[in-house]
Structure 1
């Protein structure tokens, strides 16, 4: 049975992102998997990486619990709005504090790291006010490069699937509801294609 960790990067429980994340979570369970939904803004932790990747900053209890949730997940889905062509601060804070060397990745003798989240699939669903062409040509699909490739793929997630909802500012209520309903199909696909077992090296971290 595949287990999904669903991470919500919007603080408002009545937000469009919250509705998308909840619909996805419910549908993943209906598809035969299990799913845990975590609202990142509810976690109590210092989002600032005080010493870079050096020692000296212990993980708070909420981050330790989230780390265990990552370790037990076959699939991780991220839901958040795009702010300034990047994820919200709470998402970046979780990544900065949690995706540390020798847990999320490690360097060996070569120039490129080994991603220690390997064996886990991922999904990113992000919303933005920008139209698709503006985002592509003016911002060079910045969030897909930095978060999908530079973060998730860097630490070993794969395959990584994405869904971007553009022009949210002008979406009608009916369109928003259609998008929420469409999360069921994404969840069914992700549940069916999630890894059946975690790789031992990753699961044993």
Structure 2
């Protein structure tokens, strides 16, 4: 049995994203997988990288624990809403503060870089309030997915990244949302089988 960490990037613990996260966690535990949960909005940390890369800020205890969970994991599940075609500010601050040189990647001579989160896979679940998947992909070129998948996770060595898009949420009825939750219950088994986590 392998390790899965579920990371919820929505700052509101009553959000649909939180329901998605809890559904994944519960379903994974039912399969006997080892699961840890990070609710970024509930962590106590300064999301502002005040000095850029010029001066290292000391990591708060919650960030140290989150880093431990990320390193412990074999598979990561990132869940977030699409706000202004990207992730919420608190989630971006999480990456700014924690995904640092020497921690999740290292810079080599000559300007190249090397990811330090190798041997890890991921799934990204994105929700959007008023965007359809066609508009997201065709008009906005999957901007948030490119940022998280290409610009952060793959850059830091994570591979085999799957993604799901749910939207537009404003058009979903309560029945639609419940149906989505039922469909999402199968994801841990799919992830476990694909990555041989069981």
Mapped partners of 1:119, 1:195: distance in 2: 13
Structure 1: tracts of 5 or more residues without a match: 197-205
Q: Is the 8 A contact 1:125 1:162 kept in 2?
A: yes
State the match for 1:183 in structure 2: 184
State the match for 1:172 in structure 2: 173
State the match for 1:136 in structure 2: 137
**Deviation at 1:14?**
2.4
State the match for 2:22 in structure 1: 22
Mapped partners of 1:72, 1:50: distance in 2: 28
**Deviation at 1:164?**
0.6
Q: Deviations over 1:126-172 (max 9, x none)?
A: 10020122212221110121111111111011111100112111111
Q: Is the 8 A contact 2:114 2:156 kept in 1?
A: yes
4+ residue runs over 2 A deviation: 11-14, 109-112, 191-196
State the match for 2:117 in structure 1: 117
Structure 2: tracts of 5 or more residues without a match: none
State the match for 1:201 in structure 2: none
Q: TM-score scaled by structure 2?
A: 0.93
Mapped partners of 2:127, 2:49: distance in 1: 27
**Deviation at 1:116?**
0.4
Q: TM-score scaled by structure 1?
A: 0.90
* Superposed CA RMSD: 1.4
Q: Is the 8 A contact 2:10 2:91 kept in 1?
A: no
Count of aligned pairs between the two proteins? 196
**Deviation at 1:8?**
0.9
Q: Deviations over 1:56-114 (max 9, x none)?
A: 31001111111111111111111111000001111101100000001101122344311
Q: Is the 8 A contact 1:75 1:195 kept in 2?
A: no
Q: Is the 8 A contact 1:31 1:191 kept in 2?
A: no
Mapped partners of 1:110, 1:73: distance in 2: 31
Q: Is the 8 A contact 2:77 2:124 kept in 1?
A: yes
Mapped partners of 1:195, 1:48: distance in 2: 38
